[in-house]
Amino acid sequence: MCVDSTLLQFIYLATIIIIGSVILYLRRKAEGNKSFYKVILVITGILVAIYTLQGKSLMHFDAPFLGNVAVLLLVVLMFELSTRLNPENIRFTKKGLVLIGSLFLSNIILFTLLAAYLLRIELSHAMVYALIISTIEYFIIDELRAEGDLANPLLVLFSFLLFAFYEFSKSVFFDAVYFFQYLLIGLGMGVLVGILVFKTLKHRKITWFHELALIAAALVLFLSTEYINGSGLFAVMIMGMFFGNSFVRKRALFKSFSPFIFKSLEMLIFLLIGFAISLALSWDLLWKSAVLFAFSIALRFIIIMLIHRHYSLKNKIYLSIAPKGMIFGIMIIILSLFLSNSSTLANSMLIVLLLSLVVSTIAEHFEHKEILRLDRLFEVLKNIRFGRKKDLKRY
C-alpha cells in the first residue's frame, strides 16, 4: 500500500470521526436518548460503507489498515474495562455473583446449543456468541453497572482465550501445556508493565497526556506479548487491573478516560461496523437472530425472577433487557476481519445488536416520560406545600 493510499485511509478515518461528532452534537441538541444515538451511528456507518458514487465506494478501508484500527480499539476498550475491576465499582454480593454465574452457565449451555442449531455454525463460534451476548451496557438501573464492571472484561477475555485454545490442536497434553504457557506469559508481561506504569506515575497527576501514554503503553504491551506467543489481551487486562487498584488512580480520581477519548472510541466502534462486516442479510437469518435475541432476554428474565423475587416487575424487565453496546460492536468488527467463515455469525450479531438497541431506546423513552411526570408531580406538591396555589400549572 503506497503512502498516498495510507494518507487517504487516515482522511477517511478522520471523516468518520467528524460524522460521529455531528451525530453526537445533534443528539445533545435534541436531547435524544443514548441507545437511539448508537442505532443512528451503526446505520450511518453501514450506509456510508455501502454508498457508491459513479460505481465506486465513497469510502473504503483496506483490510490491513482496518484490522490495525480494530486491534487498537479492542486494546483501548479492554484497558478501560479492566480499570473498573476494583472494589469501588464492584459489589461482591451473594445474589450478584449467583446471577452472573447462572447467566454465564445458562448461556454457555442453552444459548450455545440453540445458536449452533439455528445458524448452523461451529460449536466454538456459538460459544463465543453465547459469551458476548452475556455482556451488557450501562442502562437505566445502576445494578447493571456493577454487573457489567465485573463480567464484561472477563467475557471478552474468555472469548479470545477460547479461540486461542482451539488453535493449540495437536494433542490434549500439548494443548494444555501451550495454553498454560500462553496465559503465563500474558500474566508476567501484564504485571511487569503494570509495575513500570505505577512507578512512572507514582508522583504525577493524571492528565490527558498521561491517558494517551497509558493507551500507548497498553498497545505496546499487547503487541510485544503477542510477539512472544503470549496472551496480549490478558496482559492488557492485568495492567488495567493493576492500575485500577493502585493509589495513583485513586489519588487522581481517575474513573474513565476523558470524554474526548471515550466518545471517539464509541463513535469509531459503531461507525466502523459497516466497513468491517460483509452484509449478507436475509429473512431467514433475521427471524433466527430475532429468536436468539428473544431467547437470551427470556432466559435472563427467568433467572432474575428466581434470584430477585422482591424486585418489581418493571425493574425485572429493565434488568432483563440489558442492552448491548461497544463490546458487542468491537466483537462484530474483530470476528468479521479475523475469523474465517464468520459471515453468518457476524451478521446475526449485528441484527441482535440493532434489536437490543431499539428495545433499549423504547425503554429509555418511557422511563424518561415517567421521570418528567414525577418531576411535574413533585413541583405541584412543592407549590401546595408552600401555599402558592395561584402559581400551579394545569396539566
**What cell was used for 207?**
492528565
Summary mean pLDDT of the chain: 83
Which of 78-92, 93-107, 294-308 shows the lowest mean pLDDT across its residues?
78-92
Q: What is the CA radius of gyration of the chain?
A: 23
16 pLDDT more than 70: yes
pLDDT at 389: 46
- Sign, CA torsion 286/354/109/71: positive
57 pLDDT more than 90: no
Question: In sequence order, what are the residues at sequence separation of 6 or more whose Cβ sits closer than 8 angstroms to the Cβ of residue 280?
Answer: 343, 344, 347
What type of residue sits at position 206? Answer: I
CATH number for region 3-361 = 1.20.1530.20
DSSP symbols for 118-175: HH---HHHHHHHHHHTT-----SSTHHHHHHHHHHHHHHHHHHHHHHHHH--S-HHHH
Averaged pLDDT for residues 160-189: 77
Query: 3-class SS at 113?
Result: helix
pLDDT at 334: 93
**What cell was used for 157?**
477475555
pLDDT at 354: 95
Question: In sequence order, what are the residues at sequence separation of 6 or more whose Cβ sits closer than 8 angstroms to the Cβ of residue 383?
Answer: 389, 391, 392
- pLDDT band at 180, cuts 50/70/90? confident
Q: Are 19 and 271 in contact (CB under 8 A)?
A: yes
Nearest to 39 by CA among 300, 370, 328: 328
Q: Which helix (H) or strand (E) holds 52?
A: strand 52-53
What's the burial of 127, exposed, middle or buried (CB within 10 Å: 0-12/13-18/19+)? buried
Rounded CA-CA distance 257/111 in Å is: 34
- pLDDT band at 139, cuts 50/70/90? low
pLDDT at 392: 44
Averaged pLDDT for residues 143-168: 83
251 pLDDT more than 70: no
252 pLDDT more than 60: no
Averaged pLDDT for residues 23-39: 85
What is the CA angle 309-359-18, rounded to 5?
Answer: 130
Decide which of 290 and 57 is more confident.
290
pLDDT at 395: 43
Averaged pLDDT for residues 45-49: 91
Decide which of 227 and 373 is more confident.
227
Rounded CA-CA distance 37/365 in Å is: 13
Which of 79-83, 85-89, 110-114, 309-313 shows the lowest mean pLDDT across its residues?
85-89
pLDDT at 380: 63
Which of 12-16, 37-41, 207-211, 329-333 shows the lowest mean pLDDT across its residues?
207-211
What phi and psi values does residue 170 have, to the nearest 5 degrees? -90, -50
Q: Burial letters for 247-267: b for 16+ Cβ neighbours within 10 Å, e otherwise?
A: ebbeeeebeebeeebbebbbb
- pLDDT band at 234, cuts 50/70/90? very high
Share of residues in the chain with pLDDT > 90 (%) = 39
Averaged pLDDT for residues 345-359: 94
**Percent helix, percent strand, percent coil in the chain, to nearest 5:** 75, 0, 20
Domain edges within the chain: 3-361
When mean pLDDT is compared over 1-10, 12-21, 160-169, the highest value belongs to: 12-21
pLDDT at 256: 63
- pLDDT band at 394, cuts 50/70/90? very low
219 pLDDT more than 50: yes
Q: Are 316 and 303 in contact (CB under 8 A)?
A: no
With both helix axes pointing from N to C terminus, report the angle between 343-385 and 123-132 in degrees, rounded to the nearest 10: 10
Decide which of 120 and 308 is more confident.
120
| 363-to-49, 356, 357 alpha-carbon distances in Å | 29, 11, 10
pLDDT at 278: 86
What is the 8-class DSSP label of residue 393? Answer: P
Dihedral through CA 216, CA 220, CA 226, CA 230, nearest 10? -90
Nearest to 350 by CA among 257, 282, 300, 256: 282
Averaged pLDDT for residues 364-369: 74
- pLDDT band at 370, cuts 50/70/90? low
